[in-house]
Chain A
Amino acid sequence: MRETLALMRASWLTATSYRLGMAMSLAGLIVTILPMYFVAGALQPVLAERISNEGGHYFGFLVVGVIAFSFLSTAVNAVPGAMASGIASGTLEAMLSTRARLGALVAGLVGYGFTWTAVRAAMTIVMAVLLGVRFSAGHSGVAVLILLLIVMAYFAIGLMAAAMVLAFRTTGPLPQVVLLLSGLLGGVYYPTSVIPSWIQSVSSVVPLTYGLRALRRVWLDGAPVGEVVPDVLVLAGMAIALLTLGIGIFAAGMRYARRAGTLAQY
């Protein structure tokens, strides 16, 4: 835990040393959310009926989708990004030769990214509330749990991509394909019910589909938790299966890199 916190602190100090970049990142939130608000208002009449059981208001629907997708992006990109930059900078080799456990190192390397995403998500929620979105505060705990399951499922993909970085110096198209499929078919910007039926079958294997549906039902619509249990169970099953696979593949990638001597090759 101490190693993880030390690495997160180091990432924070590094990030704050780029002051302009940090300020731009926060300012970018405001610039993004306002156009979203106006576009959502324009599309509200068209989509109102389609999203009636997911809050009924397109702006809120969109905000939840964007927040979940930002966590998903971090989950997919954080570990391979950390490995690639650690290899390129040479810091990975230095860290791996310390007494710290691999799990603690990985957690520390991605911890700041997730914390920053959470801060941005919190700011987005505050702005959304100011712009009229009503979240079911009583279901916030369940919402956080669902977000965690989404992160777990996609973190597994990140681990697989990181294994490819360790072994082959590139993630290949894996993260982009996953992000594209999840963004288009997982219901981030529109309900999956508007997707043509022949593609909908693909969206049923996307973990985000279940996560977002459950998240919006409880958080925007205030539906009883019992109603989303089936979606949450499917999501949890996918998360556990993917995470097991992801950890196995990451461990294999690390073994391969140690055998091939590629931990410090860039």
Chain B
Amino acid sequence: MTVLASPRPLRATRTASAVSIAGLTKRFFVRRTWTAAMRAPLLREKRLALAGIDLEVAEGEFLGLLGPNGAGKTTLFKVLSTLILPDAGSATVLGQDVVRSPAGTRRLLAPVIADERSLHWRLSAEENLRLFAALHGVPRRAVEGRARELLALVGLDATAAQLVGTFSSGMKQRLLVARALLARPRVLLLDEPTRSLDPISARALRSFLRDELVGNQGCTVLLATHSADEAFDLCDRVAVLDRGRLLATGPVERLAREVGDGRYRAWTRDAQHPAWQALGDRGVVAHVTEAVQDDEWTRIDVDVPGGMDQAAHVVDLLTCAGVRVARFERAPLTLAELLDRIVARRAGGPDA
């Protein structure tokens, strides 16, 4: 992938907040079975997709949206893209209200809704970009250069004349990103942009997003992802959604620290030593998990409530019991664990 040429000057209303969301609520009607509809024809059941979301995203910020499937990430993106009207609350993009000024919003924001079907499969990659350049109002004289530039950017310049229907999923995904960048949006919404990419292309795209788009062009990016790499590597902040509720926001390291501060990893040759069981029974550690084994060493993850002092105490106890521990270090949480803990903490569960 190459880097884009210098962008043209940006013309949006100057504001510190790129995206401002207040009390955003959306409910969808639930589709009922024929039997249920016959029994109670007038009953209209609704499912909460967004429950009073409050969120501020600063200009030039890279915000990750995390959450399980059905958390409301895509609905939030569609509201911001003016494709769905909210039931209550408000959302503005660089000062443009998404409900009152949808056209103004679309001039500043572009979504990459990661659905390959939204490309014209019987057109070439270049023709797809030409079409959307016209729809985005890219100046006629700039279209050809812009299309070539973006195709080179996403590594599709060699296949520009090829029908999109013959593309692999990864190629289509890259074309979707190129299409969204046509109009040089000030705010970009990315819904799992690296889902179908190979690791090398995914890394190149991530580096482009962070270094060029956000770093050099000052674009604000909202990224919905299930990838821990993306969230940890790219995002200044993450927002965690679950069942339409915003559970937490903040820098990903801080959230990880807040909910997973007590996670430690030990490398030992004595994984079956009764001392491990004893630590658990005495409540010194919780959630002992034996993770990876090679020929001699076993990796054991433990949750140690009570901070560093308690961790030091655990090492003492193990050493005194004769357990051979080569390393004992703070361990990072996986994204799934982070989400589990945030959701559980909000629900007042065992990890709270």
A-side interface residues toward B, CB under 8 Å?
2-3, 5-7, 9-10, 13-14, 17-18, 89-91, 93-101, 105, 255, 258-261, 263-264
Contact = CB atoms under 8 A, between A and B. Distances in A.
A259 B84 CA distance: 6
- A2, A17, A97, A98, most chain B CB atoms within 10 A: A97
Interface stretch (B125-133, B249-257, B265-273, B306-314): B125-133
Contact of A98 (B26, B28, B117, B136): B136
Interface in B77-125: 78, 81-85, 103, 106-107, 110-111, 113, 115, 117-123
A5 to B, nearest CB: 8
B106 A99 contact: yes
B239 interface: no
Contacts of B130: 6
Given A2-B134, A3-B135, A17-B163, A96 B83 contact: yes
B27 to A, nearest CB: 10
A21 to B, nearest CB: 11
Contact of B83 (A13, A17, A91, A258): A258
A99 B183 contact: yes
Given A99-B137, A260-B28, A263-B83, A14 B120 contact: yes
Interface in B139-188: 140, 163, 179, 183
A13 B28 contact: no
Contact of B106 (A97, A255, A258): A97
Contact of A93 (B83, B134, B179): B83
Contact of B122 (A2, A9, A14, A255): A14
A99 B84 contact: no
B75 interface: yes
A105 B122 CA distance: 19
A261 B84 contact: yes
B113 A13 contact: no
B136 A94 contact: no
Given A90-B118, A97-B81, A97-B111, A261 B135 contact: no
A93 B130 CA distance: 18
B29 interface: yes
Nearest to A18: B122
B103 A94 contact: no
Contacts of B132: 94, 98
Contacts, number: 96
B134 A90 contact: no
Given A99-B183, A255-B85, A261-B28, A10 B120 contact: yes
14 contacts: A2-B137, A14-B122, A17-B163, A18-B122, A90-B113, A94-B132, A96-B83, A97-B82, A98-B132, A255-B85, A258-B84, A259-B84, A261-B78, A263-B84
Contacts of A98: 106, 132, 135-136, 183
Contacts of A91: 117-120
Nearest to A6: B134
Most interface-central of A95, A101, A105 (chain B CB within 10 A): A95
A99 B118 contact: no
Tell me whether chain B's interface is mostly helix, strand or loop, or mixed: mixed
A89 B135 contact: no
Nearest to B80: A97
B169 to A, nearest CB: 14
Contacts of A263: 83-84
A194 B137 CA distance: 54
A43 to B, nearest CB: 42
Nearest to B165: A17
Nearest to A255: B85
Contacts of B83: 93, 96-97, 258, 261, 263-264
Contacts of A13: 122-123, 127
Given A3-B135, A99-B183, A94 B107 contact: no
B32 to A, nearest CB: 14
A5 B78 CA distance: 27
A160 B130 CA distance: 31
B135 A90 contact: no
B85 A6 contact: no
Given A255-B85, A258-B83, A263-B83, A17 B122 contact: yes
B106 A3 contact: no
Nearest to B77: A97
Contact of A89 (B117, B131, B134): B117
Contacts of A105: 135
A99 B163 contact: no
A99 B103 contact: yes
Most buried by A among B83, B106, B140: B83
A256 B116 CA distance: 25
A76 B49 CA distance: 36
